[in-house]
């Protein structure tokens, strides 16, 4: 068996881990067990074996770049099949006013599905999983991946061990986490080591009963992504895709992570972390929570291109922040990840040249299209690839022409590469004490009504703004039509404990005396002209103009004016030099009807989904907002930007 050339690491497993491996291998019945050392040699062996099986193709153009195309039924996270299992339902979800949602799977009649996550009883779920996992790895190898979330010398880093039958997952985890023998060494340093147990299977024992589409084994009918916070365990079945299968990312660093964070007094959030240096050489760190596919990677790698000369952006992380207040009361953040699993479409020389450069080597692409000269292709690269001189093969492995109805690349196609490949990676990105955060930015895709930027009044108002975030759905999950969905703190898909308690945790963490609380903001790059349906704001590199305004506000510059929803930029305070055809009025118009409707729908959302569990501060904030909106048009609109 080619994956098992080297297996002496089995002897190095601490006894707790060995018994976990034994227990799960007895259940899953793999043909082989292989403990990953994380070496270059091992990585090469796995990539070569996958290439031979047709699971991935080697890029003809770029060094050590690989292309995977999935079964078209397995292309994104599946929120409806993501479940948190505990003893008590209320620890995870409140009972919605009008009852639970219809269940996705008649074989799981006791699952409680809500707009803020899904719950099931632990014992009941274990029975369902045991049935799925029994013999699920026959004919396959069980890989043991010891991995660390966070830098090695950081006291807040945490260890997980993922057992998986997917070599694609092993190679991706090698990019996204610090994995291998080094982590075993860490585990062996202590008497009874703690680690999060993660079990993953694609759910297709061999020989397969059905054809394996695109050499991408998966089991969509039985896909289920489960979490057991009371047992420090993650068990995921049937999908090989991103957040469903790379357990370190959403399952551990966000879902289990946020529960540990609540217990231990810190925050695990779906946020980018960026360093911003202003023209005076002053440096501050920001983090930003935008829902999936709403611009975190792009903002974290923003290229200023002298739009405002002297500004420099450096990237600490593009998806997840683990944050805690230090002894001096400063909020410090680490990026627990080691790589980027970024949205490919839209990434181009004009939007994100840093990312484009970064993915030229050592990258695994999933569901992108390919050009006849061996390059990758996706929507947004029209100006970077000479479409007259190459032909394109779509992610579905079909010939593709410009103007086709279907996209060349899947809208949720991704690149996966090492953070260290990013040319603007921050010098402190692995610093064990984390970087000091001065601004927290919320945002989402709001085609109407929500201005380009505003600043919140105080911490409680900031928590309210986070709690009431809404955004147009994207291809990052299974929702097919564009709908405005609530996505509080960009965490809807990643909440693992009762949302009311999550908000209480946020409120209380900011209440301790002596804290230097970050200021909070809300941005919306996605306003559209209702007539032309075009974006009103150019976005991407031009967002530096908003970062600049935020930076100046952190320095207490007097450039904001109070509005009913928060502080808006004072007229002329956003640097618009050399920017043409910007309708600033449309970008900052606070419309009474819109905001009254917004308040109404927030109230309905809270009543329906959180109700008695909602901290009283949130009701107060909602009443205050509604009262302020009622005052419109008392505010002097013309004073705003």
In 112-201, beta strands by DSSP E: 112-114, 117-121, 141-149, 158-164, 178-179, 196-201
Cα 130 to Cα 28: distance, rounded to the nearest angstrom: 9
Task: Give, as ranges, the residues between 495 and 534 that touch ligand GTP (CB under 6 A).
Answer: 525-526
Tell me which residues in 343-372 interact with ligand GTP (CB under 6 A).
Answer: 343, 345-346, 351
Contact between 476 and ligand SPV by CB under 6 A: the answer reads: yes
Mark whether 294 is an active-site residue: yes
What gap in Å lies between CA 455 and CA 595, rounded to an integer? Answer: 16
Number of residues in the chain:
641
Residue 318 lies near ligand GTP (rule: CB under 6 A): yes
Site string for ligand SPV, 298-327 (x = CB under 6 A): ---------------------x--------
- Does position 72 interact with ligand GTP (CB under 6 A)? The reply is no
- Kindly identify the residues of this chain, within the stretch 248-277, that bind ligand SPV according to CB under 6 A: 249-250
Tell me if residue 639 falls in helix, strand or coil: helix
User: For residues 510 and 541, which CB has a smaller minimum distance to ligand GTP in the complex?
Assistant: 541
For ligand SPV, the closer CB: 69 or 278: 69
Would you count residue 319 as binding Mn ion (CB under 5 A)?
yes
The residue (of 37 and 269) whose beta carbon lies closer to ligand SPV is 269
Rounded to a whole number of angstroms, the minimum distance from the CB of residue 292 to Mn ion is 5
User: Rounded to whole angstroms, how far apart are CA atoms 363 and 64?
Assistant: 7
Q: Shortest gap between Cβ of 419 and Mn ion (angstroms)?
A: 14
Residue whose pair of structure tokens reads 């976005």 in the numeric block: 539
Please identify which of the residues 247, 294, 599, 640 carries the catalytic annotation: 294
Query: What is the smallest separation between the CB atom of 293 and ligand GTP, expressed in angstroms?
Result: 4
What one-character-per-residue DSSP string does 189-229 give?
TSSS---EEEEEE-S--SS-SS--GGG----GGG-EEEEEG
| Beta carbon of residue 256, minimum distance to ligand SPV (angstroms, whole number) | 15
454 binds, among ligand SPV, ligand GTP, Mn ion, none (CB under 5 to 8 A by kind): none
Binding mask 326-355 for ligand SPV (x = CB under 6 A): ---------------x--------------
Retrieve residue 161's tokens.
């061990």
Tokens standing for residue 546: 């908003």
Contacts with Mn ion in 354-393 (CB under 5 A)?
none
Q: Which does 286 bind (CB under 5 to 8 A by kind): ligand SPV, Mn ion, ligand GTP, none?
A: none
What x/- string results for residues 58 through 97 when contact with ligand SPV is judged by CB under 6 A? -------------------x--------------------
Pairing label, strands 196-201, 158-164: parallel
Rounded CA gap, 170 and 257, in Å?
21
**Of 397, 388, 398, 390, residue with least CA distance to 372:** 390
Q: Which is nearer to ligand SPV, 343 or 560 (CB)?
A: 343
Phi, psi of 162 (to 5 degrees): -105, 125
Contact 28, 142 (CB under 8 A): yes
Minimum Å distance from CB 322 to ligand GTP? Answer: 16
Q: Provide, rounded to whole angstroms, the least separation between the CB of residue 79 and ligand GTP.
A: 13
Residue 236 near residue 89, CB atoms below 8 Å: no
How would you write 337-389 as a 3-class SS string?
CCEEEEECCCCCCCCCHHHHHHCCCCEEEECCEEECCCCEECCCCCCCCCCCC
Taking the complex as a whole, how short is the minimal distance between the CB of residue 319 and Mn ion, in angstroms? Answer: 4
Cβ proximity of 560 and 639 under 8 Å:
no
Among 200, 284, 296, 332, binds ligand GTP (CB under 6 A): 296
297 binds ligand GTP (CB under 6 A): yes
CA-nearest of 44, 40, 35 to 181 is: 35
Residue from the set 540, 549, 567, 595 that interacts with ligand GTP by CB under 6 A:
540
Q: How far is CA 537 from the centre of its chain?
A: 24
DSSP sequence for 24-38: HHHHH--SEEEE---
Mark the segment that binds Mn ion (CB under 5 A) among 91-99, 219-227, 290-298, 621-629: 290-298
Which of these segments, 45-53, 166-174, 242-250, 543-551, binds ligand SPV (CB under 6 A)? Answer: 242-250
Least spacing, CB of residue 396 vs Mn ion, in Å? 24
Q: Which two tokens stand for residue 370?
A: 């390919």
Which 3 state secondary structure label does DSSP give 474?
coil
Candidates 167, 180, 205, 242; binder of ligand SPV (CB under 6 A) is 242
Pairing of strands 369-371, 392-393: antiparallel
DSSP-based three-state secondary structure for 77: coil
Q: Among residues 147 and 494, whose Cβ is nearest to Mn ion?
A: 494
Sequence-ordered strand ranges (E) for 533-585: 560-562, 567-569
Span from 126-134, 135-143, 174-182, 287-295 in contact with ligand GTP (CB under 6 A): 287-295
DSSP class of residue 94?
A: P
Binding region for ligand SPV (CB under 6 A): 77, 242-243, 249-250, 292, 319, 341, 476
Catalytic residue ranges: 294
Binding region for ligand GTP (CB under 6 A): 290, 292-298, 318-319, 342-343, 345-346, 351, 476, 525-526, 535, 539-540, 543
């Amino acid at each position: 068996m080619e994956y098992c050339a080297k297996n002496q690491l089995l002897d190095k497993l601490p006894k707790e881990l060995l018994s976990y491996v034994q227990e799960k291998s007895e259940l899953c019945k793999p043909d082989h067990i292989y403990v990953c050392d994380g070496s270059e040699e091992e990585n090469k062996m796995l990539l070569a074996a996958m290439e031979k099986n047709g699971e991935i193709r080697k890029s003809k153009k770029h060094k050590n770049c690989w292309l995977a195309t999935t079964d078209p039924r397995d292309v994104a996270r599946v929120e409806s099949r993501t479940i948190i299992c505990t003893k008590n339902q209320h620890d995870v979800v409140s009972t919605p006013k009008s009852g639970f949602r219809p269940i996705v799977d008649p074989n799981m009649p006791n699952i409680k599905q809500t707009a803020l996550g899904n719950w099931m009883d632990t014992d009941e779920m274990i029975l369902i999983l045991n049935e799925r996992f029994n013999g699920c790895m026959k004919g396959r190898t069980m890989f043991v991946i010891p991995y660390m979330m966070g830098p090695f010398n950081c006291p807040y880093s945490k260890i997980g061990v993922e057992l998986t039958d997917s070599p694609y997952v092993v190679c991706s985890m090698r990019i996204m986490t610090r994995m291998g023998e080094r982590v075993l060494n860490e585990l062996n340093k202590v008497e009874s080591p703690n680690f999060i147990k993660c079990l993953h299977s694609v759910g297709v024992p061999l020989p397969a009963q059905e054809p394996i589409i695109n050499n991408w084994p998966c089991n969509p009918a039985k896909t289920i992504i489960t979490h057991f916070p009371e047992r420090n365990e993650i068990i995921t079945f049937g999908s090989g895709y991103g957040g469903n299968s790379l357990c370190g990312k959403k399952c551990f660093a966000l879902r289990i992570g946020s529960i540990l964070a609540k217990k231990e007094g810190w925050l695990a959030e779906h946020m980018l972390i960026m360093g911003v240096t202003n023209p005076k050489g002053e440096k501050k760190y920001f983090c930003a929570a935008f829902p999936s596919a709403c611009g975190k990677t792009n903002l974290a790698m923003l290229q200023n291109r002298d739009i405002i000369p002297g500004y420099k952006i450096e990237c600490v992380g593009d998806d997840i922040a683990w944050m805690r207040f230090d002894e001096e009361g400063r909020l410090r953040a680490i990026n627990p990840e080691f790589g980027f699993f970024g949205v490919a479409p839209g990434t181009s020389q004009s939007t994100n040249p840093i990312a484009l450069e970064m993915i030229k080597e050592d990258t695994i692409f999933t569901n992108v299209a390919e050009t006849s000269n061996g390059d990758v292709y996706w929507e947004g690269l029209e100006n970077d690839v000479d479409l007259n001189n190459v032909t394109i093969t779509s992610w579905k492995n079909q010939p593709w022409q410009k103007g086709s109805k279907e996209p060349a690349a899947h809208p949720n196609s991704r690149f996966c590469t090492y953070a260290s490949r990013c040319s603007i990676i921050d010098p402190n990105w692995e610093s064990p004490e984390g970087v000091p955060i001065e601004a927290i930015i919320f945002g989402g895709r709001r085609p109407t009504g929500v201005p380009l930027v505003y600043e919140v009044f105080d911490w409680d108002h900031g928590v309210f703004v986070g709690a009431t975030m809404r955004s147009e759905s994207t291809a990052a999950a299974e929702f097919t039509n564009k709908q405005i969905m609530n996505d509080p703190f960009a965490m809807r898909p990643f909440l693992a404990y009762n949302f009311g308690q999550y908000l209480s945790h946020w409120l209380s963490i900011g209440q301790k005396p002596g804290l230097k609380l970050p200021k909070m903001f809300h941005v919306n790059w996605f306003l559209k002209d209702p007539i032309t349906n075009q974006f009103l704001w150019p976005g991407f590199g031009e967002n530096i103009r908003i970062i600049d305004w935020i930076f100046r506000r952190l320095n207490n510059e007097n450039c904001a004016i109070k509005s009913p929803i928060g502080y808006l930029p004072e007229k002329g305070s956003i640097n618009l030099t050399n920017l043409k055809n910007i309708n600033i009025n449309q970008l900052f118009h606070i419309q009474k009807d819109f905001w009254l409707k917004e308040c109404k729908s927030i109230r309905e959302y809270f009543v329906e989904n959180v109700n008695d569990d909602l901290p009283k501060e949130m009701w107060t904030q909602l009443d205050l907002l509604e009262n302020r909106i009622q005052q419109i048009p008392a505010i002097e609109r013309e004073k705003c930007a």
